[in-house]
Amino acid sequence: MAMHPQAAQLLALILLLSTGDGILAVGTPSTIITRTCAAVGRSGGQLGYEYDSCVGALSADPAAAAAKDAGQLALVATNLTVANVTSTVLVLDDLVKNLRDCLRYYRDMNKTLDAALGDLRAGRVEAASNKLSDASGVPDSCDIQLFEGSAKKNPMRKENTDADLLSRLAYAIATLPAPDPRHRRQV
Ligand SMILES: *[C@@H]1O[C@H](CO)[C@@H](O)[C@H](O)[C@H]1NC(C)=O
Ligand SMILES: *[C@@H]1O[C@H](CO)[C@@H](O)[C@H](O)[C@H]1NC(C)=O
Ligand SMILES: *[C@@H]1O[C@H](CO)[C@@H](O)[C@H](O)[C@H]1NC(C)=O
Stated pTM of the model: 0.72
Tell me the H-state helices in the chain: 5-18, 23-26, 31-41, 51-59, 63-66, 70-121, 125-135, 138-148, 157-174
Q: Whose CA is nearest to atom 12 of ligand 1?
A: 76
Backbone angles phi, psi at 52, to 5 degrees: -65, -40
Does ligand 2 come within 6 angstroms of the Cβ of 77? no
Is residue 10 very low, low, confident or very high in pLDDT (cuts 50, 70, 90)?
very low
Domain range summary for the chain, segments of one domain joined by +: 90-175
Cβ < 6 A, ligand 1 pocket: 61, 63, 75-76, 79, 83
d(CA 64, CA 37): 12
Tens digits of residue pLDDT in 133-176: 999 999 999 999 999 999 999 999 999 999 999 999 999 999 99
Q: Which of 133, 153, 134 is nearest to 143 (CA)?
A: 153
CA 75 to centroid of ligand 1, rounded, Å: 9
The CA distance from 96 to 159, in Å, is: 17
CATH number, span 90-175: 1.20.58
Would the CB of 54 count as within 6 Å of ligand 2? no
Ligand 1 centre to CA of 62 (Å) is 8
Using an 8 Å Cβ cutoff, are 157 and 143 in contact? yes
Note the pLDDT tens digit of each residue in 83-126. 999 999 999 999 999 999 999 999 999 999 999 999 999 999 99
pLDDT for 23 beyond 50: no
Whether residue 106 contacts residue 66, with contact meaning beta carbons closer than 8 Å, is answered with no
